Amino acid sequence: TRLIVFASGTGSNFEALAEYFADRPDVALVGLVCDHKAAPVLAKAEAAHVPTILIDYRAYPTKAAAEAALVARLPQADGLVLAGFMRIIGPTLLAAFPERIINLHPALLPSFPGRSGIADAFAYGVKVTGVTVHFVDAGIDSGRIIAQEPVRMRPDDTLATLETRIHEVEHHLLPTTVDHLIEKGVF
Helix (H, G, I), strand (E, B) or coil at 102: strand
103 is in an annotated binding site: yes
4 is in an annotated binding site: no
User: How far lies 114's CA from each of 139, 167, 177, 185, in Å?
Assistant: 10, 17, 21, 29
Q: Which of 36, 49, 105, 180 is catalytic?
A: 105
Most distant pair of Cα atoms in the chain: their distance: 50
12 is in an annotated binding site: yes
> Does residue 36 have an active-site annotation?
no
With a CB cutoff of 8 Å and minimum separation 6, the contacts of 3 are 17, 27, 28, 29, 30, 77, 78, 79, 80, 81, 178, 187
User: Under the criterion CB under 6 A, does residue 141 sit at the interface with ligand GRF?
Assistant: no
CB of 145 to ligand GRF, least distance (A): 14
Of the residues 17, 45, 104, 162, which one makes contact with ligand GRF according to CB under 6 A? 104
Asked if 121 contacts 141 with a C-beta cutoff of 8 angstroms, the reply is no
Tell me, rounded to whole angstroms, the distance of Cα 169 from its chain centroid: 14
User: How far lies 131's CA from each of 21, 110, 141, 166, 167, in Å?
Assistant: 21, 11, 12, 7, 9
Of the residues 105, 109, 129, 134, which one makes contact with ligand GRF according to CB under 6 A? 105
Helix (H, G, I), strand (E, B) or coil at 50: coil
Ranges within 8-27 binding ligand GRF (CB under 6 A): 9-13
Query: Residues 26-65 vs ligand GRF: string with x where CB under 6 A?
Result: ----------------------------------------
CB of 165 to ligand GRF, least distance (A): 11
Of the residues 84, 130, 143, 175, which one makes contact with ligand GRF according to CB under 6 A? 84
Q: Is the Cβ of residue 104 or residue 136 nearer to ligand GRF in the bound state?
A: 104
Interface with ligand GRF by CB under 6 A: which residues?
Answer: 7, 9-13, 83-84, 104-106, 170
